Amino acid sequence: MHITESDLAARAITARQFAYAPYSGFTVGAALLCKDGTIYTGCNVESAAFAPTVCAERTAFVKAVSEGKRDFAAIAITGGKQGTPGDYCYPCGVCRQVIAEFCSGAFTVLIVRTPTDWQKITLEELLPHRFGPDSLQ
């Protein structure tokens, strides 16, 4: 099955419905496409202590990596207050660093408002001059 960008955007929107955000009310969903066609979704999960809060993007990556996946093609990310489409929701700095751990600069990032309204950028555009595994060699 060929996964389109619209399919990936829709999966991120669906994942967002499961977000647990009682403190900020800001819900986020992500859908991570592996090169083999497998999709791992994630949502943000907040904590009253704030520091243990986990973002949707990191949830999707951790689920995939914990299942042995290491080759990724794209991620779709959507978010906003109280589950309504808002402005484009870019990943936080920590999530950008996690993406950089596993993906090249050409990795596709879809910043999604609706299944038909998104911005397509690369990791290089999102995080230029990144520090990653190659930086340690």
- Residues 82-98 pLDDT 10s: 767 778 999 999 999 99
Residue range 66-93: mean pLDDT, rounded:
91
With b meaning 16 or more CB within 10 Å and e meaning fewer, what string describes 9-26?
A: bbbbbebbeebebeeeeb
137 — pLDDT class (breaks 50, 70, 90): confident
Catalytic residue among 5, 46, 57, 124, which? 57
Q: Measured between alpha carbons, how far is 58 from 47 in angstroms, rounded to an integer?
A: 15
With b meaning 16 or more CB within 10 Å and e meaning fewer, what string describes 106-133?
A: ebbbbbbbebeebeeeebeebbeebebe
Q: Tell me the CATH number for domain 5-136.
A: 3.40.140.10
* Average pLDDT across the chain, whole number: 94
The verdict on whether 57 is a catalytic residue reads yes
